Amino acid sequence: MPTPGGASERERYTWGIGFLLLPVVLWEVIPRAVPLPRGVRLFLATPSEIALAFVRLVEQGEFQQHFAVSAVEFLAGLGLSVAVGLPLGIVLGRSRLLDDVLDPFVTTLNATPRIVWLPLLMLWFGIGIWSKVMIVFLGAVFPLLINTYEGVRNTDRLLANMVRSFGGSEWQVARVVALPCALPYVVAGLRLAIGRAILGVVVGEFFGASRGLGYLIASAASSYRADVMFAGVLVFMALSLALTLSVKVLEERLTRWRPEATKTF
Amino acid sequence: MGSRRLVLGGLSVIAFALSWELLLSTVVRWDPFFITKPSLIAQAVREQILGGHLWRDMAVSAQAFVVGFVMAILVGIPVGAVMGWRRRAEYALDPLMTALYASPLIALAPLLIITAGVGIAAKALLVFLLAVFPFIFNTFAGVRCTDPLLVSVVRSFGGTERDLYTKVILPGVVPYLVAASRLAIGRGLVGILVGEFYAASEGIGFAISRFGDTYRLPEMFTGILVLAVVAVALTSVVRRLEAVVAPWRAGQRDR
């Protein structure tokens, strides 16, 4: 059994941080201590080399340039998916007919990796930012749509009817019952959508792009600049973690009242 | 209610295909480099199934997928079980694994392909990297949800450590594993596709991107359709399984 309070918490942090740092330290030390074959050395950059590469990229302004392109694609795609996913989720949650009619499309598109549309999107929207915006949109819209739908569907009938019996309008039902009930689902959907959107940006920029962090990674990899490549990968990881964690904090604030079981998707 | 949904759903798919066909055959002047018609796609599907490289491409992709997926299971379950059962292991691995799970590991694709080549190894590794985390975290959650009362019962009746694993922990984890494979299938398919888009000489992802590059839209749609069918089939098999091993989760839609 855990000892309540300090000792256990401290142990948790020590082990956790230790095992986060351990791979970094090993990664730095091993290539210095052990003579690795040239083939391996070519693909390996130690953390210090990666940090230097990152600083160099920032100083030259190259990083900012790529970052700006990726950020625009991310925000435009995510914004579009919120603008489409939320209303559509509400409509599908409220209308049986539309739900039944659109269900095969939603289910099939959601089950199929959205990356599969990338070649087609590149044909339609070219190799500029719009094909990336569209792939981000396709990836991010379904978690939002489906979670909003679930949230609307799970509105407590009893509470809704009570508002109605006390003379409340449909608008009041939506505001007092449906919206608070659906909000945590929507935020959970947003968290998933952010992950998918970042995936879309990375993969979209791997192919037929000339700017963006994904392009930076792909082009560095094909010219054997391992330090630059890892710098790009780590920036993506850091951004993804920061965004996901901040939505998670928001989510926990909004879902304090929900039973544990419904929190894990 | 179920049949109503099926009928309306089927009708809407047919209506969609028909209006697509009619719109392009009669009203709009269309450019074969940008869009194609369902009838042409159907023809391409038939050609690809009868001759063509379709089966070969699918076999190549399936091989890499299965290898990566099995590796993910073989690694993910033990790691998750240790994390769930040993407190120190949880403390040590949880932050690291959470960080890796939340990061877009697909960004490593170019590195993997350039180091491991365009063959099966890089793709399998990519599938493994993406699919292993759902198994780790779901096994972890499943072990943690083991009823302590049942553990005490086994212990007080003189059960061995082995009984504990085979009779209490494992049966409790199974539903979590089924849920994990549903997530892992989706992630694994992304790995295969990206790997084959990036660099490959065969495989379904390669076929789709090559047909796209050469403006052969009916063939490209064939690839997309095949992949959609496979994805939907795999997902619904897992969902059926889930309804059997974890009836309380049935009815929830895919997230």
The DSSP result for A156-209, as a single string, is -HHHHHHHHHTT--HHHHIIIIIHHHHHHHHHHHHHHHHHHHHHHHHHHHHSS-
The dihedral over CA atoms of A260, A263, A264, A265, expressed in degrees to the nearest 10, equals: 150
pTM here is 0.86
Same domain? For B150 and B237 the reply is yes
Which of B9, B205, B211 is facing A103, going by the closest CB pair? B9
The dihedral over CA atoms of B191, B194, B197, B202, expressed in degrees to the nearest 10, equals: 0
Same domain? For B86 and B160 the reply is yes
Q: Which of A114, A115, A215, A247 to mutate to test the interface with B (most CBs of B within 10 A)?
A: A115
- A210's torsion region: left (phi>0), alpha (psi -120 to 50) or beta? alpha
Q: Would you state the pLDDT for residue B74?
A: 96
Contact A152, A89 (CB under 8 A): yes
Neighbouring CB atoms inside 10 A of A23's CB total 11
Taking CB atoms within 8 Å and a gap of at least 24, the contacts of A157-163 are none
Same domain? For B57 and B166 the reply is yes
Residues in CB range of A52: below 8 A, 6 or more apart: A227
Same domain? For A12 and A129 the reply is no
Same domain? For A21 and A49 the reply is no
Quick one: DSSP state of residue B160? Answer: -
Among chain B residues, the shortest Cα distance to A235 is held by B103
What residues of chain A score a pLDDT lower than 70?
1-7, 39, 255, 257-265
Same domain? For B180 and B79 the reply is yes
Do the chains contact at A146 and B107, CB–CB below 8 Å?
no
Contact B44, B221 (CB under 8 A): yes
Report the CATH number at residue B50: 1.10.3720.10
Same domain? For B54 and B108 the reply is yes
Q: Would you state the pLDDT for residue B132?
A: 95
DSSP secondary structure letters along A209-236: -SSSHHHHHHHHHHTT-HHHHHHHHHHH
Q: Would you state the pLDDT for residue A139?
A: 93
CA distance B51 to chain A (A): 23
Q: Which of A42, A112, A251 to mutate to test the interface with B (most CBs of B within 10 A)?
A: A112
Same domain? For B21 and B103 the reply is no
How many CA atoms does the CB half-sphere of A110 hold within 13 Å?
23
- Between the CA of residue A52 and those of A23, A59, B108, what are the distances in Å? 19, 10, 20
Same domain? For B72 and B51 the reply is yes
Which of B8, B111, B209 is facing A100, going by the closest CB pair? B8
What residues of chain B score a pLDDT lower than 70?
1-2, 246-255
Q: Which domain holds residue B199?
A: 36-249
Residue B255 domain flag: no
CA distance A102 to chain B (A): 7
Q: How many domains does chain A have?
A: 2
Q: Which residue has the tokens 């290539």?
A: A31
pLDDT digits (tens, 9 = 90+) for B28-62: 777 777 788 888 899 888 888 888 788 888 999 99
Do the chains contact at B212 and A11, CB–CB below 8 Å?
no
| Of A143, A126, A150, A107, the residue nearest A208 (C-alpha) | A126
Which of B103, B193, B255 is facing A116, going by the closest CB pair? B193
Is the confidence metric ipTM above 0.90 for this complex? no
Report the CATH number at residue A132: 1.10.3720.10
Same domain? For A153 and A223 the reply is yes
Same domain? For B187 and B238 the reply is yes
